[in-house]
């Protein structure tokens, strides 16, 4: 459902993914304590929140829900909302942006097509794009905003692909249970056969659920959860790259480095403070 429908009229420019030329206002990664809240408030542009870790409670006009790790919440311009970090150990990657540089949606300047869904299940590439976007925005390299907005464009196009497929929404109970199990046991050896046996379905159905709701395989989710833990280990300087790999369940540090770069877009050695 689109908010503020009175702003929509025939004079608006329809902006498709081919036309995305985003203007990024803010991009940052935060680790809020449990109970941290924002709002009730309104913001002037779209905000895309990648729930990397923890649970985020979202209160928006159509109701409230809890966003689990592995999803993106969209907040629409000028709508009243409230957010609450619902668990310890949370991490949010946040990007505030318009889809085109010289227009604003809230003034009726354009209409994105497809319309951004409230909640989107991420694919294997999105976590890395969010990380690169926030890291570039807060960095000091030359032409950082050009780089940041180039990354944001790919991020928004990938989200649009998900919106077009209609693969958004709240996870079914069985999918939620599988994700929770992977999250709690990701340092162990877990495959689709293990999930199938635990949740009393076929291995083929496990793959089908993961492809439909996450756009990835069970192994890719295990890798993403392990890499998120390794990121924290490296950020806290609690060990070398090799030690971080072993700590999160990888037996081969070289393979760990390849997976890490695939998820975050940078080598593990580059995220150490």
pLDDT tens readout for residues 123-161: 778 899 999 999 999 998 889 999 999 999 999 999 998
pLDDT tens readout for residues 78-133: 999 999 999 888 999 999 999 999 999 988 889 999 999 999 887 778 899 999 99
Residues 6+ apart with CB under 8 A from 52: 29, 69, 91, 92, 93, 127, 130, 228
Q: Are both 143 and 192 inside the same structural domain?
A: no
Residue range of the domain that includes 263: 173-268
Higher per-residue confidence, 173 vs 240: 240
Domains held by the chain: number: 2
Q: Are both 159 and 203 inside the same structural domain?
A: no
Q: Are both 159 and 195 inside the same structural domain?
A: no
Q: Are both 153 and 178 inside the same structural domain?
A: no
CA distances from 69 to 90, 103, 173, 180 (A): 9, 32, 15, 9
Sheet harboring 46-53: ordered strands across? Answer: 23-30, 91-98, 46-53, 71-75, 119-121
CB neighbours of residue 193 within 10 Å:
12
pLDDT at 10 over 80: no
CATH label of the domain that carries residue 51: 2.60.120.280
Q: Does residue 273 form part of some domain?
A: no
pLDDT at 168 over 80: no
pTM here is: 0.63
Q: Are both 18 and 142 inside the same structural domain?
A: yes
């Amino acid at each position: 459902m689109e908010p503020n429908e009175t702003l929509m009229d025939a004079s608006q420019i329809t902006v498709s993914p081919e036309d995305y030329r985003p203007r990024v206002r803010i991009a940052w990664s935060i680790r809020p304590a449990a109970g941290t809240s924002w709002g009730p408030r309104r913001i002037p542009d779209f905000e895309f929140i990648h729930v990397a870790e923890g649970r985020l409670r979202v209160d928006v006009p159509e109701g409230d829900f809890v966003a689990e790790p592995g999803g993106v919440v969209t907040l629409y311009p000028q709508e009243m909302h409230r957010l609450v970090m619902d668990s310890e150990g949370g991490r949010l990657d946040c990007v505030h942006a318009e889809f085109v540089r010289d227009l604003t949606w809230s003034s009726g300047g354009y209409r994105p097509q497809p319309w951004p869904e409230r909640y989107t299940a991420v694919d294997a590439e999105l976590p890395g794009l969010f990380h690169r976007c926030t890291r570039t925005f807060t960095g000091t390299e030359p032409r950082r905003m050009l780089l940041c907005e180039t990354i944001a464009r790919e991020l928004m196009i990938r989200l649009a692909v998900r919106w077009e497929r209609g693969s958004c929404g709240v996870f079914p109970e069985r999918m939620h249970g599988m994700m929770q199990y992977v999250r709690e046991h990701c340092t162990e050896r877990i495959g689709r056969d293990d999930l199938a046996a635990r949740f009393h379905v076929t291995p083929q159905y496990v793959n089908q659920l993961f492809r439909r709701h996450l756009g990835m395989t069970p192994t890719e989710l295990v890798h993403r959860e392990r890499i998120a833990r390794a990121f924290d280990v490296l950020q806290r300087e609690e060990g070398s790259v090799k030690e971080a790999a072993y700590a999160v369940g990888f037996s081969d540090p070289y393979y760990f480095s390849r997976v890490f770069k695939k998820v975050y877009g940078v080598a593990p050695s580059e995220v150490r403070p």
